[in-house]
């Protein structure tokens, strides 16, 4: 009798777990189908993309680089070519305990940049990870905005103004652009990566933004208002999902994240 009761309990637990999983799968399936249909009717450009300011706010570009000798030069070349008033733009690159030629490449660019690039070299015993690397550099920031890029990203000249323009709205605490694989047509893997990126940005982020469902600040190809960052407690360096953490803290403080679909950056 006890054995039958135990078997029934196990079967019931399995069926309950199966039902919950099936329900969650159905909800997300309906959600994704709805988002995909809605995305097709969205405008191709953000309304902020047409904004042209007479006085653009000061911006610091921040890049964390860990063993990035193969890609850092390309990223810095593109950052230096961004269409933005030079007097209001600074670039801080954090060499995060790299063991390759990243530090040397960075130093060469610092010498050639006429003061536009500043290097931060972290010691080998520093707390590892991108959040901690960026936290070490925030003390050098004096600008109104901070815009983040990963070291393997290639922003085109118009991108920065597209990411900065939404900050004319005081309710905007952060902005988020769109990531596109640079070598999309190379092989099956790159095509699948492009499909994943399209689903995450051109569908999910775009519809969440259009329906006021809190698009996420993703930590790269995105900007943050420094006054808002200070208001919500500053940059968090002790979590693996610092971008999601910041998104929720901004939302809880009354700020929004503005997704700019035509602010595309190649990775």
Split into its structural domains, the chain has a count of 1
In whole angstroms, what separates CA 156 from the centre of its chain? Answer: 16
Assigned domain for 24 exists: no
Stretch 113-130: mean pLDDT = 93
Residue 6's pLDDT band (cuts 50, 70, 90)? confident
Q: Is the pLDDT of residue 24 over 90?
A: yes
pLDDT value at residue 2: 64
Assigned domain for 222 exists: yes
Assigned domain for 139 exists: yes
pLDDT per residue over 94-120, tens digit each? 999 999 999 999 999 999 999 999 999
For residue 205, what are its two tokens? 């982020």
Within 8 A by CB and 6+ apart from 179, the residues are: 153, 197, 201, 218, 220, 221, 264, 265, 267
Whole-number average pLDDT of the chain: 92
What CATH number is given to the structural domain containing 229?
A: 3.90.550.10
The rounded distance, in Å, linking the Cα atoms of 205 and 243 is 14
Stretch 29-57: mean pLDDT = 85
Give the number of residues written for the chain. Answer: 267
Assigned domain for 63 exists: yes
pLDDT value at residue 133: 93
The rounded distance, in Å, linking the Cα atoms of 67 and 71 is 9
pLDDT per residue over 202-219, tens digit each? 999 999 998 988 999 988
The rounded distance, in Å, linking the Cα atoms of 117 and 83 is 16
pLDDT value at residue 42: 85
Contact by Cβ (8 Å): 160, 62: no
Range of the domain at 182: 55-266
CA nearest neighbour of 233 among 218, 222, 247, 249? 249
Residue 10's pLDDT band (cuts 50, 70, 90)? confident
pLDDT value at residue 1: 59
The rounded distance, in Å, linking the Cα atoms of 243 and 250 is 11
**Which pTM does this prediction carry?**
0.88
Assigned domain for 109 exists: yes
Assigned domain for 131 exists: yes
Contact by Cβ (8 Å): 82, 157: yes
Residue 7's pLDDT band (cuts 50, 70, 90)? confident
Q: Is the pLDDT of residue 84 over 80?
A: yes
pLDDT per residue over 215-259, tens digit each? 999 889 999 999 999 999 999 888 778 899 999 999 999 999 999
The rounded distance, in Å, linking the Cα atoms of 102 and 236 is 25
Spatial strand order in the sheet of 172-180: 117-122, 89-96, 59-65, 145-150, 222-225, 172-180, 256-266, 154-155
Assigned domain for 111 exists: yes
Helix (H) or strand (E) holding 65: strand 59-65
């Amino acid at each position: 009798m006890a054995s039958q009761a135990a078997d029934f309990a196990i079967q019931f637990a399995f069926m309950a777990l199966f039902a919950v999983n099936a329900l969650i799968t159905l909800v997300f399936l309906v959600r994704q189908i709805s988002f995909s249909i809605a995305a097709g009717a969205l405008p191709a450009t953000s309304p902020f993309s047409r904004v042209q300011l007479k006085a653009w706010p000061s911006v610091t570009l921040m890049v964390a680089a860990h063993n990035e000798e193969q890609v850092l030069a390309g990223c810095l070349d593109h950052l230096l070519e961004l269409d933005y008033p030079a007097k209001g733009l600074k670039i801080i690159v954090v060499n995060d305990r790299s063991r390759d030629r990243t530090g040397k490449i960075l130093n060469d660019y610092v010498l050639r940049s006429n003061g536009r690039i500043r290097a931060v070299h972290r010691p080998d015993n520093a707390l590892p990870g991108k959040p901690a690397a960026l936290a070490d550099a925030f003390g050098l920031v004096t600008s109104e905005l901070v815009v983040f890029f990963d070291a393997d990203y290639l922003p085109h000249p118009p991108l920065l103004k597209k990411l900065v323009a939404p900050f004319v709205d005081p309710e905007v605490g952060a902005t988020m652009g769109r990531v596109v694989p640079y070598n999309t047509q190379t092989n099956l893997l790159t095509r699948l990566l492009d499909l994943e990126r399209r689903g995450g940005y051109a569908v999910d982020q775009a519809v969440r933004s259009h329906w006021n469902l809190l698009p996420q600040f993703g930590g790269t190809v995105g900007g943050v208002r420094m006054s808002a960052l200070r208001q919500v407690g500053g940059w968090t360096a002790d979590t693996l999902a610092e971008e999601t953490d910041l998104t929720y803290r901004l939302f809880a403080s009354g700020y929004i994240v503005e997704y700019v679909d035509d602010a595309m950056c190649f990775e």
